[in-house]
Structure 1
Amino acid sequence: MPHAVVTGAAGGIGHAVAERFARAGYTLTVSDLDGPALRRIAADVDALAVPADLTEAAAPHDLIARAWEDGGAVDVLVNAAGLYPSQDMLDVTAEKWDRLFALNLRAPVLATAAYGQRVSAAGATGAVVNISSGSALRSRPGGGPYATTKAALEMATRAAALEFGALGIRVNAVSPGFVPVASEANPVSPVYARAISANPLGRSGTPEDIAHTVHWLSTPEASWITGEVVRVDGGSSTGALHLPRIDGRSGHEEGNPA
């Protein structure tokens, strides 16, 4: 039975990812800072729960070690833990910046390194999927520090894929568009949700949309894909649908459908 590790499993996307792997018959190890919520989710998907603060330097390594030793060899690592605070670049402090980078960038990089070492020592193969964001391509007011972490995570994904290929480990990322989830840790205002949810497909994403892609990237069907960032965003990264036409027309005139 294959084994997957999912961080951030108490969050909306992380929870959906854990459920998707559970339905596929995986042994699961799930981790999150929110211990009570994590244990409820672990009970739902019959997983080993490992509460952890991944901003602590040793925590990513310890998580992989615990998963490997208690659940067996790990086939898939999904780095879904993350924060997306509203923070203006003008108001950046060293403490806020370092904590954000510790969770959004350093933790997945260290977890991937620890995972790679285990897989290599076992002579096995594996897959890593990082959760990025459309913010890696374009920032927004109050989103600069977060966007910077995700841009760096996408480069770290490519760098790891380049070096881990010879070890039989594929490393990819999934970049969600706007996916509304209930979260006390990452609140989103209704105004922001309405403004960002416009896309060519006309709806917001769901955690399940992201989970399906994460799972697919970890399967043999994606065995020749590594170093890629798959944008699951309803087409929002294709352009700015909310902007007016250059010639001033609405795009909805008779004979000229949008």
Structure 2
Amino acid sequence: MRTVLVTGAGGGIGAAIARRFAAAGDRLVLSDLRAAELSTVAGQLPTEVVELPGDLADAEYAEGLVERAGPVDVLVNAAGIYPATPLLDLTAAIWDRVQDVNVRAALLTTVAFGRAHAEAGTAGAVVNISSGAATRARPGAAHYATSKAALEMVTKACAVELGPHGIRVNAVSPGFVTVDSDANPVTEAYAAAVSVNPLGRRGEPREIADAVFWLAGPEAGWITGAVLRVDGGSTAGAAGLPLHWAGRTPVQEGEETHV
């Protein structure tokens, strides 16, 4: 039985991840700013659960989370915030909070996790939750997109330095996933616009949880520093676009087409 620490476990993808590991019989340590929601999730899990509510923007809380959790085999950094803030409305305080929760906290928990395993001489696995926003900016998300791009580099940097200690660090990058969240609400118009992908549907939290579970397990034992895009193929391209020419364009022998 492993001990798995999941941040952002009070709802949405974080809660689904907690449920996936619990279904496998793992012991869970859960963190979230929302203590009531965290307790609700914990009460639904069929395994041993420890609740450690707190604000990951607080560096002291983030740095001490792994130690408070006790020996941890798997760390999942699922906590994240994505306020909608037009660029001209951004302030230092808004920017810093997004970076502190989405990037700095994941780095601090990973460093603490790495130290604990390096000292004990044991292997471990870290999985960070990124986003398609890491590679594509959008209105109102300069702070969020930047944080996820940074998180993917944090993932790679930590993989390089912790690999010699037997610690794997990877990330899962979800596409648009249906999540009922009061903390991070989205409009239906936004959801419809960003959920177009080759598979033609929105993702479900359990599908992200399955990817995280696999990356943290022995089947992915030779994978580190990777970002697994679980997005219905939206990274691959836009399947919903029409042909760029009205009908098929015949190409005669010896003729070339140029784009």
- Per the TM alignment, residue 141 of structure 1 is displaced from its structure 2 partner at its CA by 1.2
CA contact (8 A) 2:11 2:38 kept: no
Per the alignment, in what secondary structure is the counterpart of residue 44 of structure 2?
A: helix
Matched-pair identity in %: 55
Equivalent position of 2:14 in the other structure = 14
Unaligned runs of 5+ in 1: 251-258
**1:134-154 deviation per Cα after TM superposition (whole angstroms, max 9, x unaligned):** 000101111221000000000
Equivalent position of 2:256 in the other structure = none
Per the alignment, in what secondary structure is the counterpart of residue 240 of structure 1?
A: coil
Equivalent position of 1:3 in the other structure = 3
- Per the TM alignment, residue 249 of structure 1 is displaced from its structure 2 partner at its CA by 4.6
Per the alignment, in what secondary structure is the counterpart of residue 179 of structure 1?
A: coil
Of 49, 52, 70, 2:51 maps to 49
- Per the TM alignment, residue 106 of structure 1 is displaced from its structure 2 partner at its CA by 0.3
Larger Rg: 2
The answer to whether the aligner puts 1:31 opposite 2:31 as a matched pair is yes
Distance 2:244 2:89 in 1: 35
The answer to whether the aligner puts 1:67 opposite 2:69 as a matched pair is yes
**1:43-99 deviation per Cα after TM superposition (whole angstroms, max 9, x unaligned):** 22241010010000111122111101xxxx211000000001111222211000000
Partner AA of 2:232 in structure 1: G
CA contact (8 A) 2:196 2:240 kept: yes
**1:107-136 deviation per Cα after TM superposition (whole angstroms, max 9, x unaligned):** 000000011111111111100000000000
**1:177-227 deviation per Cα after TM superposition (whole angstroms, max 9, x unaligned):** 000211111010010011111111111000000000000001110000000
Unaligned runs of 5+ in 2: 249-259
Distance 1:246 1:111 in 2: 47
CA contact (8 A) 1:60 1:114 kept: no
Per the alignment, in what secondary structure is the counterpart of residue 30 of structure 2?
A: strand
RMSD of aligned alpha carbons = 1.2
Equivalent position of 2:223 in the other structure = 225
Distance 2:74 2:247 in 1: 49
CA contact (8 A) 2:198 2:240 kept: no
Of 111, 114, 117, 1:116 maps to 114
Equivalent position of 2:151 in the other structure = 153
Per the alignment, in what secondary structure is the counterpart of residue 59 of structure 2?
A: coil
* Number of aligned residues: 246
Per the alignment, in what secondary structure is the counterpart of residue 84 of structure 1?
A: coil
Distance 1:14 1:249 in 2: 46
The answer to whether the aligner puts 1:84 opposite 2:86 as a matched pair is no
